[in-house]
Amino acid sequence: MKAIIAEKYGPPDILQYLDVEKPSPKENEVLVKVHAASLNAFDWHLLTADIFLVRLATGLRKPKYTIPGADIAGKVEAVGSLVSQFKPGDEVFGDIAASGCGGFAEYVCARADLLALKPSNSTFEQAAALPMAGLTALQGLRDNGHIQPGQKVLIQGAAGGVGTFAVQLAKYFGADVTAVCSTRNLEQALSLGADAVIDYTREDFTRNGQQYDLVFAANGYHSIFAYQRALTPRGIYVMSGGKPAQLFQALAFGPMLSKSGGRKMGALSTRANQQDLVFLKDLVEAGKFRAVIDRRFPLAEAAEALRYLGTGHARGKVVLNILPADQP
């Protein structure tokens, strides 16, 4: 089978498009014929190791897992002896990072508990765009942010993969949503349900005097003290993505600042699970949630897709079409 291989850390140029052996599922795994995969900032960090903690988790000198790709959608081809939930022919999607990734390939094996049936009204590429970014938005708003109806919620980075999902989910949970993005993305944010928009090229929301019950930073670049200023006295700041400096501040200073006052501040660690995937699936099938896809690339052009993602200007999700739509 064809796959994208990363034998060392580095820029997208180090990726290779090679023939490798087709995997076989373990007793608790499912073999999936991958139709589409999507890219996340997670894939960029794993490839480049631009955050040193990546090396502690995946290998100091070279990646432990050589085929990138966490988000997939495809058809089940075979199941392990302990798997009863899925059968060959089922259409599934999921975030398989906890199985060692491997999604940038024609076939991948993944733990069955990391997958769910694909939304019936979604294409494979739409389903592949959902898992990691959708789960990050859901868990950040619901579990870390404790979002409540009627709250004033600000989504920073509202045009990216996580941000487009966060805007929709915040509206689903009944919040009054302000989306922060660039000029060219203001209309997109409004179309996804935002009640108000802020053009960050013209206005700094941390200095305009407005305060929010929940600030969800899908792309954070302000200091943690600036975010603190933008919160109501009992507001919550959740950092899910951004520059390494902001991640360090959220991890290092967030607990201390949370103890010193009524505000809560910290970083999000997303955990893939089947229950939340089904939650997103149900929202999609009910017409209340959708993926925004910016660009599509064939598998052989995964390096180019990652280079584009690395610019930080993707509007929604970037997807690899691994199996053409007219093939079974």
When pLDDT is averaged across residues 146-167 and rounded to a whole number, the result is 97
* 112 pLDDT higher than 70: yes
* CATH number of the domain where residue 299 is located: 3.90.180.10
pLDDT at 138: 97
Q: What is the mean pLDDT of the chain?
A: 92
Residues listed for the chain: 328
Cα gap 324→84, rounded to integer Å: 29
CB 193 within 8 A of CB 223: no
When pLDDT is averaged across residues 176-183 and rounded to a whole number, the result is 97
pLDDT in tens, 295-317: 999 999 999 999 999 888 899 99
pLDDT at 296: 96
Residue 70 and residue 172 in one domain: no
Q: Is residue 326 in some structural domain?
A: no
Q: Is residue 274 in some structural domain?
A: no
Q: Is residue 328 in some structural domain?
A: no
* 259 pLDDT higher than 70: no
Residue 196 and residue 316 in one domain: no
* CATH number of the domain where residue 226 is located: 3.40.50.720
Residue 146 and residue 111 in one domain: no
When pLDDT is averaged across residues 248-275 and rounded to a whole number, the result is 78
Sorting pLDDT into bands at 50, 70 and 90, what band is 269?
A: confident
Residue 136 and residue 125 in one domain: no
Range in 165-174, 220-229, 277-286 the model is least confident about: 220-229
Q: Is residue 272 in some structural domain?
A: no
Torsion over CA: 46, 50, 55, 57 (sign) = negative
pLDDT at 242: 74
pLDDT at 235: 94
Structural domains of the chain, count = 2
146 residue type, one letter: H
Q: Which residues contact 209 (CB under 8 A, 6 or more apart)?
A: none
79 residue type, one letter: V
Residue 160 and residue 207 in one domain: yes
Cα gap 83→77, rounded to integer Å: 13
Q: Is residue 241 in some structural domain?
A: yes
Sorting pLDDT into bands at 50, 70 and 90, what band is 6?
A: very high
CB 61 within 8 A of CB 46: no
pLDDT at 249: 75
Residue 116 and residue 143 in one domain: no
Residue 136 and residue 105 in one domain: no
CB 106 within 8 A of CB 274: no
Cα gap 273→211, rounded to integer Å: 33
Residue 120 and residue 174 in one domain: no
* 155 pLDDT higher than 70: yes
Burial class (CB in 10 A: 0-12, 13-18, 19+), 191: exposed
Cα gap 296→121, rounded to integer Å: 19
* 268 pLDDT higher than 90: no
* 325 pLDDT higher than 70: no
pLDDT at 287: 96
Residue 218 and residue 260 in one domain: yes
pLDDT at 327: 57
pLDDT at 326: 47
Residue 80 and residue 159 in one domain: no
Residue 204 and residue 310 in one domain: no
Sorting pLDDT into bands at 50, 70 and 90, what band is 59?
A: low
Q: Is residue 255 in some structural domain?
A: yes
Residue 147 and residue 199 in one domain: yes
Sorting pLDDT into bands at 50, 70 and 90, what band is 200?
A: very high
State which residues form the domain around 245. Answer: 132-267
The residue to which tokens 């769910």 are assigned: 116
Cα gap 141→296, rounded to integer Å: 28
Q: Is residue 282 in some structural domain?
A: no
